[in-house]
Amino acid sequence: MDTPEKSSQIATPLSKFEDSPVFNYINSLSPIKPVKSLPVTQTFNSLNFASLPSIFTSPHVTSHKETRFFRRNNCSDLSKPGFSSENGNKASTNDDIAADASQLYDNSAELQENFDPAVSIAEVAVEASSDSKFAIELPRALKYDCGSPGSKPTPCGIETNCASELASTSAPVVPFVQEASDNVSSEGQVNSQGMCQMEQKKEMAGCDWESLISDTADLLIFNFPNDSGAFKGLIQKSLDPGARYTSVSPGFPQINFSGEPRMQAIDPVGSDQQHEMEDPSTQLGESSIVNEINRAQDSPNDDLDECLTCDPCEKVGMNIPVSCKPISNLHRGMLRRCLDFELVARRKNLGDGSNCSSSMILQSDEKMTTEDKQLVPLKPSSDSSRQILPGIGLHLNALAISSQDNKNIRIDSLSNGRYLSLPGSTASFHSPKTTEDPLHESLPSATNERDMVAVENGVSLAEDASQTSAYLAGEEYNQSSPKKKRRRLENGGEGDACKRCNCKKSKCLKLYCECFAAGVYCIEPCSCQDCFNKPIHEDTVLATRKQIESRNPLAFAPKVIRSADCLPELGEDSSKTPASARHKRGCNCKKSSCLKKYCECFQGGVGCSINCRCEGCKNTFGRKDGSAPTETECEAEEEMETCEKSVVDKHLQTTEIPNSEEQNPSSALPTTPLRLCRPLVQLPFSSKCKPPRSLLTIGSSSGFYTGHKYGKPNILRSQPKFEKGLQTGSEDEMPEILQENSTPSSGVKTSSPNSKRVSPPNTILGSSPSRRSGRKLILQSIPSFPSLTPQH
């Protein structure tokens, strides 16, 4: 497109800009210029979008200009590596902006601090929501902008700005932007003035909003995000969907809105992005190459295209959510996590509707989601929202186990906020499960992760939070040698949350890669080579994911299914809940006797099941034979956890629900929601360094899927069980019983590895082959166990 030229032009200014403060000042005056270039590039460059994240990072509330600039710049700059970084710097560089930025930073710092210790959940939630909204909005705006270069200028200043920007008209925009920035900054600092300004903005926004909502809702949103006030106004007016926002906004809005952006600015996200951004063009090329390499069989070209456009947005969104948390590491983690979850996030968004700040956004997102599941996620707007959730979900899942120990309060607070949103979504999906609800409730109540952790139900949340924290910690660790860090984490056991891959040939685009398999981006700690599993290569990653999912819809579903846990917990045994879990497909171990991490079941901290085809199974968590793990065994490794595990193993059948998850190709989704349930899974891992990702993911996925389940009839079986389990603990117990019974009933064994397939349930499962494994388990387990149940 035209972008190359523009990019080149921009590039020079950028360099100057960087070098000379004067340039910066000029830029501040006429930020539009950079923007101009952006529109063109944005249209197709995913990179542009990628740059967006940086924008968020540095979107300081202070200056709309900057934010816009950044956005645009980012878009335009996509090709330019340094640009993104510059953007981040710009805010600080510009005199006016700098002042605001400094304040913002201060505020952000405060915010961070606040968050860390005991940020009120509400605040966190608000922030998260706002962030999510932010992310969502921005991405959408970008998309739309891209999509409609000639986007009509709306009456509202904001829109006009956008339009002007789109048109590449710098002059008009600048003044407005300045004002906006001023307002914003004021808001960030003081509400009173900010409020007034905000109101004005709102008015503007409102005009646009009302008139545009239908048509250019995105644009409006776009604008709003930049303007904290505008954003607020939007939220309050149109959306309010979440009374939360309204309620919260009054109290914290300032902080939240301004704070988040600030956070972003502070956050190294920009740096991260920068890293990513470094080779935007190259990356693109790489991504394309990767796609080829991957064979991107299908990865629906269209999808890819969409991804290209949308991905960046998603990235941004990803970043944004991350930005919520002060720590740069978080951002990283978020980015990483976001991959899969983006998709999930959207779905969540649907579910989150209530949670989500803006109903509008949600609605749009929902629509999107309904139609485009995965693809949709790519869309910026939805992405942002999703991102938050998803990102969290993945990481959390992965981290959850280890994270518990790590537990960073800061992150926790953030995560909590996320959790809140997520849980809500999940809850909506899962609806019934009390466990989740408790979690949600607990979350708010328990500001501290620890508290959360303390409560089993809370555990899931805590896990998430802990994961996030762990993740952060991991990042920190990352700074040092990745491998060492990794080992530390592993050794530490808890720290494991952040896994790091060491892929050399797979480019981290295959399931071989733990990160990729977990739906998270690789991060610094990873020692992978030629890694494409990075936000920069989102399109590639997504495409690859699609491909893999096309082959195996369950490929990204959590390997360990705990779904039952959550449900069952609600029903009866909250305590037991954790235990139930099974490996989705079962292991195929021949030499490890399922006593080593080679065994996915063992690694996941779950007992082997009928599905397993292992030979000489001695899985301490539970043998496929049905023999329950001996106490000694449990003691040996996990003791407490093992106990739970045993229970879990038995419960695994319930986990079948995951199958439903599996069904959902959009596995990504599963990650986040399930987390809540996850806690159970963690147990096993806790003993060891690593928390099996699979478990974490599984847990999350299970929950998530459960939601899907409801949506999808296919899962029916598992669902019904879950539902039942959820509704009535009795059913849940059934699985447990089965498990337990299984042990006693040792006879249950399906000794034959093939047994999985043999399992009669298949017929029932029949709906989807991939699923059958899980279902099979259930069925099998049921038959075998029934006798046992009586015991209980």
Binding residues for DNA, per CB under 7 A?
A: 295, 483-484, 490, 501-508, 510-514, 517, 528, 548, 551-552, 555, 559, 585, 587-593, 596-600, 603, 614, 690, 769
CB 689 within 8 A of CB 571: no
**Rounded (10°) angle between helices 46-57 and 259-266:** 110
Which burial class, exposed, middle or buried, applies to 287 when counting CB atoms under 10 A from its CB (0-12, 13-18, 19+)?
A: buried
Smallest separation (angstroms) from DNA to the CB of 402: 12
Query: Minimum distance between the CB of residue 262 and DNA, rounded to whole angstroms?
Result: 35
Residue 359 or 593 having the CB closest to DNA: 593
Q: What angle do CA 298, 304, 310 make, to 5 degrees?
A: 155
* Angle of helix 328-352 versus helix 693-711 axis, rounded to 10: 20
Q: How far apart are the first and last CA of the chain?
A: 69
Please enumerate in sequence order all residues whose Cβ is within 8 A of that of 738, keeping only pairs 6 or more positions apart, or say none. 650, 651, 653, 781, 782, 784, 785, 786, 788, 789
d(CA 161, CA 183): 15
Between 449 and 514, CB nearer to DNA: 514
- Phi-psi bin for 407: left (phi > 0), alpha (psi -120 to 50), beta? left
Q: Which is nearer to DNA, 536 or 589 (CB)?
A: 589
DSSP H/E element including 561? strand 560-561
Tell me how far, at minimum, the Cβ of 464 lies from DNA, in Å.
Answer: 21
Nearer to DNA among residue 534 and residue 721 (C-beta): 534
The encoded tokens of residue 396 equal 């959390």
CB nearer DNA, residue 239 or residue 517: 517
User: Closest CB to DNA among 201 and 507?
Assistant: 507
- How far apart CA 546 and CA 352 sit, in angstroms, is 24
365/662 with CB nearer DNA: 662
Q: Is 625 helix (H, G, I), strand (E, B) or coil?
A: coil
Q: Measured from the CB of residue 780, what is the shortest distance to DNA in angstroms? A: 17
Q: By C-beta, is 713 or 769 nearer to DNA?
A: 769
C-beta of 236: minimal distance to DNA in Å? 46
Question: What is the distance between the alpha carbons of residues 299 and 288, in angstroms, rounded to a whole number?
Answer: 12
Which CB, 262 or 499, lies closer to DNA? 499
Q: Which is nearer to DNA, 61 or 543 (CB)?
A: 543
158/177 Cα distance (integer angstroms):
9
Nearest one of 647, 637, 652, 650 to 684, comparing CA atoms: 637
Within 446-560, residue ranges assigned H as helices are 449-454, 456-479, 482-492, 514-518, 538-551
> The tokens of 491 are what?
């050794």
Which residue number, 256 or 592, has a Cβ lying nearer to DNA? 592
Kindly state the greatest CA–CA separation across the chain: 81
At closest approach, how far in Å is the CB of 561 from DNA?
Answer: 13
Q: Whose structure tokens read 């915010």? A: 111
In this structure, what are the phi and psi dihedrals at residue 401, rounded to the nearest 5 degrees?
-60, -60
CB of 768 to DNA, least distance (A): 12
